[in-house]
Amino acid sequence: MKFIDQMDINGQKLLVRVDYNVPLKEGVIQDAHRIRASLATLNYALERGAALIICSHLGRPTTRHEPEFSLLPTAVRLAELLGRKVKMAPDCVGSEVTGMVQALKPGQVLMLENLRYHAGEKRNDHEFSKQLGALADIYVNDAFAVAHRAHASVVGVVEYAPASCGGFLLKKEWEYLGQVLTDPQHPYVVISGGAKMSTKIDVLNALLDKTDDIIIGGAMANTFLLARGYQVGQSLVEKLRVRDAVELLEKASGKGKKIHLPVDLTFGQGIHSLTALGVCRSDVIPQDSMVLDIGPETITQFKTVLAKAKTVLWNGPMGAFENPAFARGSRELAQIVAGLDDVLTIVGGGDTNVVIKSENLSDQFSFISTGGGSFMAFMEGKELPAFKALKESAKR
Ligand code: ADP
Ligand code: MG
């Protein structure tokens, strides 16, 4: 696979697939992190005399006549961040767009309209892919968040663009995530929390051979406690996944890997309660309450496990952290991981990211993935469609 620093881009027109799927409220961008994250690749290309054609999706429009899904606000913000003009195209394909691309000079930037205004994007349609590919001298994928999607602007376009490569964001994901997947330094501790057991159990199974310790918290832990034969009261569990949890526990002990479950828990009446009701040991969870965070003794134990780590991969908060009454476990864990010295610390997952950001600790982690579904799929060991397409094009 090739990345942008291996390409001769001077004087070339680059079609750059970015992820500008930003949160918008009445046309105002709520968080421009994704736009800022693309600047490394864009500035690099502009400094080397390339012209940029930028494309992205935004939200889930069903037709072209939904102006609330226009990428115009992101073009305006990008212009501010780049300190140069960004022209907005009326569409992402078609004769008008082709004309604008033809007129583009080195150092100029053109933003295409929402890719998902065309049904061909999600269908990976040949004709649509061909039209996209024809716009560029070189296609650059810098959108890890959609790397697991076989969409036209991720996969199909690679077939038709004269040359293709990954951008710096994609490269970072590839290198950092690749390292914890295939060649981690030991001891390697995986922390798994959050609520979506069904999406996470495959990752744990895939990582089991590589890791030394797995720490489990959040609602995930409830299902594992159930698997251990404990009662979990009214807590959020995935009953259909208890079998998977039992299997993972058995497999882990067969391989001499340690799975650490909470020894004590903070419980409450419900997820919106103003205060916690108390802390209990994991084997005596009150019948009529919900487990909503890990307890203090558990935090101390997890800290001990983490103290010897050389690599840490974290996905999923330790509790219902959106409610301050149940945020302590996640926040303290963020502090603990951030405070580890000489350790490769990698984070994935939207909610885990929110915890770290709200503690102002983002800079103290080695790498925070920009992927959600793509992060999980990569960690399951699946070959992502984006990487597959880029690898094949590098062979051509
Ligand atoms: P990520 O986005 O980092 O992958 P998830 O989406 O899997 O994480 O999980 C985050 C969600 O899990 C949060 O909304 C949080 O409130 C919820 N959660 C964590 N622990 C519990 C719990 N014990 N009970 C209910 N919800 C929980
Ligand atoms: Mg989430």
Q: How do residues 319-372 score in pLDDT, each as one tens digit?
A: 999 999 999 999 999 999 999 999 999 999 999 999 999 999 999 999 999 998
Give the residue numbers spanning the domain of 35: 4-166+384-395
In this predicted model, what pLDDT tens digit does every residue of 254-272 receive, in sequence order?
Answer: 999 999 999 999 999 999 9
388 in contact with ligand 1, CB cutoff 6 A: no
**Residues 199, 308: one domain?**
yes
CA of 194 to the centre of ligand 1 (A): 3
CA of 303 to the centre of ligand 1 (A): 20
Inside any domain, residue 111: yes
Inside any domain, residue 375: no
Give the closest residue (by CA) to ligand 1 atom 15.
320
216 in contact with ligand 1, CB cutoff 6 A: no
The residue annotated as part of the active site, out of 59, 339, 373, 381, is: 373
**Residues 162, 218: one domain?**
no
**Residues 191, 208: one domain?**
yes
Contact yes or no for 234/249 (Cβ under 8 A): no
**Residues 182, 239: one domain?**
yes
Inside any domain, residue 298: yes
The reply to whether omega before 187 is within 30° of 0 (cis) is yes
**Residues 272, 287: one domain?**
yes
319 in contact with ligand 1, CB cutoff 6 A: yes
**Residues 293, 334: one domain?**
yes
CATH number of the domain to which 233 belongs: 3.40.50.1260
**Residues 141, 187: one domain?**
no
Residues, CB-to-ion distance under 5 Å, ligand 2: 350-351
Inside any domain, residue 319: yes
Inside any domain, residue 374: no
Q: State how far the Cα of 277 lies from the Cα of 324, in Å rounded to an integer.
A: 14
CA of 95 to the centre of ligand 2 (A): 40
CA 25 and chain centroid, separation: 22
The residue annotated as part of the active site, out of 11, 49, 278, 350, is: 350
**Residues 298, 319: one domain?**
yes
Instruction: List the structure tokens of 253.
Output: 């002990």
346 in contact with ligand 1, CB cutoff 6 A: no
**Residues 40, 92: one domain?**
yes
**Residues 68, 216: one domain?**
no
**CB atoms inside a 10 Å sphere around CB 47:** 9
**Residues 69, 126: one domain?**
yes
- 371: phi then psi, degrees, rounded to nearest 5: -95, 155
Inside any domain, residue 88: yes
Return the pLDDT at 161. 98
**Residues 62, 194: one domain?**
no
Inside any domain, residue 378: no
Q: State how far the Cα of 159 lies from the Cα of 154, in Å rounded to an integer.
A: 10
Query: Running DSSP on this structure, what letter comes out for residue 303?
Result: H
Inside any domain, residue 177: yes
Return the pLDDT at 198. 85
Burial class (CB in 10 A: 0-12, 13-18, 19+), 303: middle
Number of domains into which the chain is organized: 2
Query: For 83-118, where are the alpha helices, taking DSSP H only?
Result: 95-102
Residue 373 appears among annotated catalytic residues: yes
The residue annotated as part of the active site, out of 17, 34, 210, 241, is: 34
Question: Which residue ranges of the chain lie beneath pLDDT 70?
Answer: none
Location of structure tokens 């767009």? 97
Pick from 14, 1, 23, 91: nearest CA to 49: 14
